[in-house]
Amino acid sequence: MMRRGGAATFFAVLSVSLLLYISYSSLNTSTTSFRLRDSAVDKVAKNYSAWHDCLKKNISIYDGNPDGLWGNLWRGIKLCEVLPEMKGLFIGDYPNSDETKRHIVPKMVSCRWKTSKLLYDFQQLPSVIVTLGIGHDTGAEEKLIKGLPHGSEFFGADPMHEINENLYTKLPGKYFPFAVADAAGLAEANVLINTSYTTKTVVTLDIIYFLKNLVKRTFIDDIWIDGEGAEYGLFDHFFNDGKFDENGITFCQFNIEIHKPDNLQKKLFHDFIFQLLKDRRYAIYRPVQGHHMRLFMVNFANEECVYKYIL
Ligand SMILES: *[C@@H]1O[C@H](CO)[C@@H](O)[C@H](O)[C@H]1NC(C)=O
Ligand SMILES: *[C@@H]1O[C@H](CO)[C@@H](O)[C@H](O)[C@H]1NC(C)=O
Ligand SMILES: *[C@@H]1O[C@H](CO)[C@@H](O)[C@H](O)[C@H]1NC(C)=O
């Protein structure tokens, strides 16, 4: 009896220690492999933090003041985009006849060839560019396509097919004849007909369906959003655990025009900017402030995006 009891205790103690040992060592391995993995996001974390601290410090006086933020955000962005920590980004300008889109092209293959096979693979991947709102002008797309890897793809949506369909198809790109918004349906939109903007009822498709089922891409290098107001409904899609995360959709970069806001929209914009800061995923550059505002965002929190565009 004694011996069997002793043996049982012995095995009990042994299995508990084994369990402890296994869980301890697996904990250990995961931290080690985390370090060994040499995450690209980790490598740029300090630089991102410098930018983040800078902008946060500059605009926190406008937390709770949508009017103040709308009028002054550009100052903070201009201050922080020239930090030494942001000098490694090569943001290119792609003008069309009335504005300028921004884009960072994938790093040159030759620079990285020797350092890592993984990097080389990423850089061979062609880009996916999406245009929401073509506006009778593909000047920026035509300039961009020349600097992108062979096989890069363009997808453009605009409810006005005249002119837009021809221009976009010629890029070459795939053209879709509707507006893209947060939900499918009908909307009143300000659209370009001939040479002037006119209010018209347009068909909208929801952006998740559009990207997953029609564009059929979930890794998007850059999306150019010119939604004439539809962008307000998309703000929360970009948040951590928002609709884009829920659907596994990644944007490495995006250009967005924020249409001249009313008071409610100023509040939405205020909440958008402060939530982006909380999420610590995107950094914001190249503000252009007029009646509308244009911003350019870069994703610092996705491994592939960081390898392809930042490191
Ligand atoms: C934010 O930056 C702008 C532009 O450099 C500067 O004029 C302003 O004083 C700054 N505001 C704060 C609160 O740091
Ligand atoms: C990070 O910041 C340093 C300056 O502190 C800069 O020299 C370097 O180029 C930056 N790295 C990247 C990837 O931008
Ligand atoms: C646009 O121009 C075409 C050709 O000049 C003309 O036939 C058409 O009526 C115009 N449409 C509008 C809405 O002005």
Walk along the chain (311 residues) in steps of 10 and give the mean pLDDT of each run. Answer: 51 47 42 58 97 98 98 98 97 96 80 49 77 96 95 96 96 97 92 86 96 98 94 97 98 98 97 98 98 98 94 88
CB distance 61 to ligand 1 below 6 Å: yes
**Counting atoms of ligand 3 from 1, which one is nearest the CA of 193?**
13
CA of 131 to the centre of ligand 1 (A): 33
Q: What is the pLDDT of residue 193?
A: 85
Class of domain 38-309: alpha beta
Q: What is the pLDDT of residue 32?
A: 38
CB distance 58 to ligand 1 below 6 Å: yes
CA distance 196 to 216: 33
> CA geometry: angle at 14 spanning 13 and 16, to 5°?
65
Q: What is the pLDDT of residue 16?
A: 45
**Beta-strand (E) ranges in 86-163?**
92-95, 100-103, 128-132, 153-157
Cβ-Cβ contacts under 8 Å for 261 (sequence gap 6 or more): 70, 232, 268, 269
Closest-lying ligand to the alpha carbon of 43?
A: 2
Ligand 3 mutation target, pool 162, 194, 197, 200, most atoms within 8 A of CB: 194
Q: What is the pLDDT of residue 5?
A: 52
Q: What is the pLDDT of residue 125?
A: 78
Q: What is the pLDDT of residue 228?
A: 86
Nearest CA to ligand 2 atom 5: 85
Q: What is the pLDDT of residue 148?
A: 94
Instruction: State the pTM of this model.
Output: 0.84
Nearest CA to ligand 2 atom 11: 88
Which class for 25: exposed (0-12), middle (13-18), buried (19 or more C-beta within 10 A)? exposed
CB distance 75 to ligand 1 below 6 Å: yes
Nearest CA to ligand 2 atom 13: 311
Q: Which amino acid is at 152?
A: S
Query: How many other CB atoms are found less than 10 A from the CB of residue 68?
Result: 15
